[in-house]
Structure formats: C-alpha cells, structure tokens
Amino acid sequence: MRKKVKELTSRSNGVSNENRAASLRRYIMGWINYFKVADMKTLLQQTDEWMRRRIRMIYWKQWKRVRTKYKMLTSLGIYEQKAWEYANTRKNYWRTSNSPILSKSLTNNVIRGFGFLFFSDYYRQVTA
C-alpha cells in the first residue's frame, strides 16, 4: 500500500496537484472498499500521518524560491518573521515537511481543501 501511495505522491512525476489528488482518491477508495472488513484503524492512522507529510513535502518543493515560500506561508497565516525564517531554511524537503511551521500552515483541513482524501476518514465513512 505504501509503495503505491509513494508512487502516486512522487514529487518528480510532473502531475498537477488536482490530478494527483484525484488518482490518490481513486486508489484510497478502491483499497478501503476492498479491505473494509478488516479492523485496521491504527494502520490507517499511521499511513495518513505519513501521507500528509509527503503531501506537505510536495507543496514545499513546488514553492521552490524563498520569495514564493515566504508569500505562501504568510498567506496561510504564519507571522512574517517566522515565515521569512522558515522560507530561508536549507534543510531538505523531507525534514522540513515535518517541521512545526508546515504543520501549522498546511493543516489537515487545508490539505483536505486541496482535494486530498485520507484513508482513516474514508474508512470511518464506509464502516459507519
């Protein structure tokens, strides 16, 4: 499962975020509908945390320039000083995706607003 999610959320495949969200949504719905009989709540929660981190990493990489990172962080509600501080970081994408600043700016609700679906949300919806 993680291998396929990693393939769908690859940051270098040249797919738009809308198409990425749609293909990920299709995969999640099919996977959950097939395995919904099993009790796998903790597995899905862990996979969701990992997947959200990958999505944050994708957006951080797409913003590329310091100016763009700063602009996007301030538009997502981060104070200017902190946004400038984090926009200038030289840490790699994976490490930055786990930083508190991206967790506060690209929250779970913001990611849902971009059209992404999470395993545990759909599992709760199907089994209820």
Q: How far apart are CA 17 and CA 59, in angstroms?
A: 9
pLDDT higher than 90, residue 72: yes
Helix (H, G, I), strand (E, B) or coil at 9: coil
What confidence tens digit (pLDDT) does each residue in 12-32 have?
A: 888 899 999 999 999 999 999
Structural domain containing residue 103: 2-7+15-127
pLDDT at position 14: 82
pTM: 0.90
Domain count, the chain: 1
pLDDT over 80 at 128, yes or no:
no
Read off the pLDDT of residues 37-70 as tens digits, 9 standing for 90 and up: 888 889 999 999 999 999 999 999 999 999 999 9
Any alpha helices (H) in the chain, and if so which ranges?
2-8, 17-35, 41-63, 66-75, 80-87, 93-96, 100-105, 108-113, 119-127
Distance in angstroms (rounded) separating the CA atoms of residues 15 and 101: 26
